A and B are shown apart, each in its own frame.
Chain A
Amino acid sequence: MPTETVSYIEAIGEALRSEMDANPDVFLIGEDVGQFGGAFKATRGFLDRFGPRRVVDAPIAESGFTGLACGAALMGLRPVVEFQFADFISCAFDQIINNCSRHHYRTGNPIPVTFRAPFGARLRAGPTHSQSVEAYFGHVPGLKIVAPATPQDAAGLLISAIRDNNPVLYLESRYLYRRLEAPAPLSLDPVPIGSANVVREGTQVSLLTYSVGVHQGLEAAQILAGEGISVEVVDLRTLVPLDVATIAASVNKTSRAVVLHEDARRLGYGAEIAATVQEECFWRLDGPVVRVAGKNTPIPASPALEDAAVPQVPEIVAALRRVATA
């Protein structure tokens, strides 16, 4: 039904529907994606529209259906695999690491599969329904990883992921599913994988972040503007491959960098970003690269505990302020 706005999760549905309409080789497989319309209703109506051949309700067998997707992709189909929560992707770790990611390097044959994984915390869902998984998979050669922060990018990056001839891990933010709206109609132009976006220009410190962090960063930047501190917010959009050129241009301009992500700090993806920044921009830095990240704990369920485990806007503001004025 036509509405004036499109939410983040609706954008995902629109993009998926558009690609399935355009390319008969695209099919969906995952738990509850068909007759239930998806655990989060991302694929509501798809079974009726595309039929059970193209919308496959899989049993609870992540390794099994991930391997199936790899085999089908090897034969030239374009599977979109949905993990009900990113937390369950660990059940498919073996298939992703050993069959999927390194297949092209070994054989020259591509595996064009898209893995959709709803990730992230702040929904009181506890340690096994709130995980961020980009750090493990960021290390694996052969995968690409994207994490859209807006409905527009959610659509554009999913389209690019499906069209990409490599396995792409698509991290969709559950927290943002229904919290973000964009004006309709949505553009269905693909957003290039590997391109970051400067969502707010600034002069004194660059905040490098993705997904929920982008919105927290914008809020923090607005607060700090009132104090006369100018923050540039860079939405990374793609984690692998990282848009080093945009990151370096920003930090070379502001001379200060703060990296923000919800994932735990130790060996979170911010470590890679920080290392990249210091390699590229060291001689232009006015201070060390700082990471603001989740605690090194599993994500707790109870509200006050969870809120303390992940970055909140006041903490982000304080970090940016400290870095900008040190």
Chain B
Amino acid sequence: MPSPRTPARTREPKPPVERDLAVRMFEVMALMRAVEDRMVTMYRQGELLGSLYTGHWHEAIAVGTASALRPTDVIAPLHRDLGVHLWRGLEPWQVMASFMGKATSPTGGRDGTLHYGRLDLNIINPVSHIPNNYPVATGAAFALRYRGTDGVAMAYCGDGATSRGDFHEALNIAGVQRLPCVFIVENNQYAYSTPNRLTTAAADFASKAAAYGMPGERVDGIDVFAVHQAASRAVARARAGDGPSLIEAVTMRMHGHAEHDPADYVPDEVRELWAKRDPVEECAGRVIELGFLDTDGVAAVKQQAHQTALENRNKALGMPMPEPDDEEGRVYAD
């Protein structure tokens, strides 16, 4: 099992994506970073209810994959995929409201922290038992095909979650039923304090796809365009009825499992190595390189992201907390 290392950088000879798409990708990545940084501050200031989970260094994976989908495709994300929600138009204050238990959170305060999907945006609200969302995503894919659409369902989990039975059962069913699914494994090297070498004896996660009769691809999770292209290929396959795919996107979990976890188990040299490969900064560099934005433009995007994050914080802080209201009555659907 390889120890955490810096994967090779991928380079494409021509622009990997069009300008507008690339700029939007950068904007959403910058916004994801700004919102999460702001939430870290809010956490330290005691403004959040409980733990805070962030996706620092996951921005390229979230945005690279979400941008390969249509709004009618279904996404089943987990807790480090804020970029997926932002791509689809979820406002940051809703995420903050979820972490604060506000009445205006997507669950009205009935759930909290990272459990904040929105079915109207075709995003399925996850539970903490990971990867429970994997089988659920197969169901979404099943329904999309059942209804005669070429819709696709995309599910995310981390390296640690691949150890559970639901990972296997979902991939197996998707493979044998040739469901239009794309399974993303965000390999950020650590499951809480458990490094990959204690999670699996396999060489990597992408090769596990073969066991289910589907293609598996390993991609540099720091490079948003590489992720986007890998995701686009997988989505196209699924849309064409060729069945599911597995994409392993490699990155590093730069913060602790949650903000209360200092992650002292991560060797300093590993952190230092990955600190040099900030996906947001690399994307910024790429859009400048490709001539889509200049340095002022990049700075402006970052400034706007910072401002948006702040405004959403202020908005969320002012929102009301829920009072108990016929709780038993809302358990059942009518």
Q: Which residues of A contact B (CB under 8 A)?
A: 27, 53, 56, 58-59, 61, 63-77, 79, 94-95, 98-99, 103-112, 141-142, 144, 165-166
Contacts and interface: CB of A to CB of B under 8 A. Distances in A.
B173 A64 contact: yes
Contacts of B119: 74, 107, 109
Interface string B134-147: 11111111111011
Contacts of A110: 333
Given A58-B173, A105-B330, A107-B107, A67 B135 contact: yes
A106 B128 CA distance: 13
A72 B173 contact: no
Nearest to A71: B139
B171 to A, nearest CB: 9
B124 to A, nearest CB: 6
B179 to A, nearest CB: 8
Given A56-B177, A67-B132, A95-B132, A74 B107 contact: no
A256 B132 CA distance: 46
Given A27-B146, A61-B173, A63-B166, A68 B333 contact: no
B140 A75 contact: yes
A74 B119 CA distance: 8
A94 B139 contact: no
B136 A68 contact: yes
Contact of A104 (B115, B139, B170, B332): B332
24 contacts: A59-B169, A63-B169, A64-B166, A64-B172, A68-B173, A70-B135, A71-B76, A71-B124, A72-B142, A72-B146, A75-B140, A75-B143, A75-B144, A94-B129, A94-B166, A95-B132, A95-B135, A98-B128, A99-B132, A103-B125, A104-B333, A106-B111, A108-B108, A141-B328
B121 to A, nearest CB: 12
A165 B330 CA distance: 13
Interface in B117-171: 117, 119, 124-125, 127-129, 132, 134-144, 146-147, 153, 165-166, 168-170
Contact of B139 (A59, A72, A109): A72
Among B108, B139, B168, B334: residue with most chain A CB under 10 A: B139
Contacts of A69: 139
Contacts of B252: none
B332 A142 contact: yes
A106 B143 contact: no
A141 B330 CA distance: 10
A71 B331 contact: no
Among A27, A66, A112, A142: residue with most chain B CB under 10 A: A66
Contact of B146 (A59, A65, A77, A95): A77
Contact of B143 (A56, A63, A71): A71
Given A98-B129, A165-B334, 10 more contacts: A61-B169, A63-B135, A63-B165, A67-B139, A67-B166, A72-B143, A106-B107, A106-B110, A108-B107, A166-B333
Contacts of B166: 63-64, 67, 94-95
Contacts of B176: 59
A107 B74 contact: no
A74 B135 contact: no
Nearest to A99: B132
A108 B165 CA distance: 28
Contacts of A70: 135-136, 139
B106 interface: yes
Interface in B10-38: none
Contacts of A141: 328, 331
A166 B333 CA distance: 6
A74 B125 CA distance: 11
B170 A67 contact: yes
Contacts of A108: 107-108, 330
Interface in B93-111: 106-108, 110-111
B136 A53 contact: no
Nearest to A79: B139
B172 A67 contact: no
Contact of A77 (B117, B143, B170, B172): B143
Interface string B216-240: 0000000000000000000000000
B176 to A, nearest CB: 6
User: What 3 A-B pairs come out closest when comparing CB atoms?
Assistant: A67-B135, A71-B139, A64-B169
A68 B111 contact: no
Contacts of A56: 177
B115 A106 contact: yes
Nearest to A106: B111
A107 B333 CA distance: 11
A142 B334 CA distance: 12
A14 B132 CA distance: 33
Nearest to B112: A106
B137 A71 contact: yes
Given A71-B137, A98-B129, A104 B331 contact: yes
A142 B139 contact: no
A71 B125 CA distance: 11
A61 B142 CA distance: 16
Nearest to B139: A71
Among B142, B168, B172, B177: residue with most chain A CB under 10 A: B142
A76 B146 CA distance: 11
Nearest to A27: B146
Among A67, A73, A79: residue with most chain B CB under 10 A: A67
Contacts of B128: 98
Nearest to B176: A59
Nearest to A54: B146
Nearest to A76: B143
A74 B139 contact: yes
B172 A74 contact: no
A105 B142 CA distance: 24
Contacts of A105: 110, 330-331
A291 to B, nearest CB: 26
A64 B111 contact: no
A141 B333 CA distance: 12
Contacts of B117: 107
